[in-house]
Amino acid sequence: MPSPQRIMLTPGEPAGIGPDIIAQIAQQAWPVELVVVSDPDLLLERAKAIGLPLQLSLCHAEETPLPHQAGRLKYVSVPLNEKVVPGKLNPANAHYVLRTLELAAEWCLQKKADAVVTGPVHKGVINDAGIPFTGHTEFFAQCAGVKDTVMLFVVDQLKVALATIHVPLARVPLTLTKDSLQTTLTILHDSLQKYFRISSPRLLVCGLNPHAGEGGYLGREEIDIIEPVIAALRKQHYHIDGPLAADTIFTPMYLREADAILAMYHDQALPLVKYIGFGNAVNVTLGLPFVRTSVDHGTALDVAGTGKADAGSLLAAIRLAIQIT
Q: Which residues are annotated as a binding site for substrate?
A: 136-137, 274, 283, 292
Query: Who's near 10: CB < 8 A, 6+ residues apart?
Result: 18, 36, 37, 38, 100, 101, 104, 116, 117, 118, 119
C-alpha to C-alpha distance for 291 and 271, rounded to whole angstroms: 25
Strand partners, 205: 262
Length of the chain: 325
Q: Quick one: how far is CA 29 from the chain centroid?
A: 23
Rounded distance between C-alpha atoms, residue 276 and residue 44, angstroms: 34
d(CA 9, CA 96): 14
What residue spans of 26-64 are helical by DSSP H?
40-49
Cα–Cα distance, 294 to 30 (Å, whole number): 18
Residues annotated within the binding site for a divalent metal cation are 166, 211, 266
Written as one string, the DSSP assignment of 266-310 is: HHHHHHHHHHHHTTT-EEEEESSSSEEEE-SS---GGGTTTT---
Contact between residue 227 and residue 190 where contact means Cβ atoms under 8 Å apart: no
Q: At what angle do helices 227-235 and 178-196 cross, to 10 degrees?
A: 50
C-alpha span between 191 and 196 (Å, rounded): 7
CA torsion, ordered 181, 182, 183, 185, to nearest 10 deg: 80
Q: How far apart are CA 275 and CA 250, in angstroms?
A: 12
**Residue positions forming the annotated binding site:** 136-137, 166, 211, 266, 274, 283, 292
* Distance separating alpha carbons of residues 75 and 2, to the nearest angstrom: 22
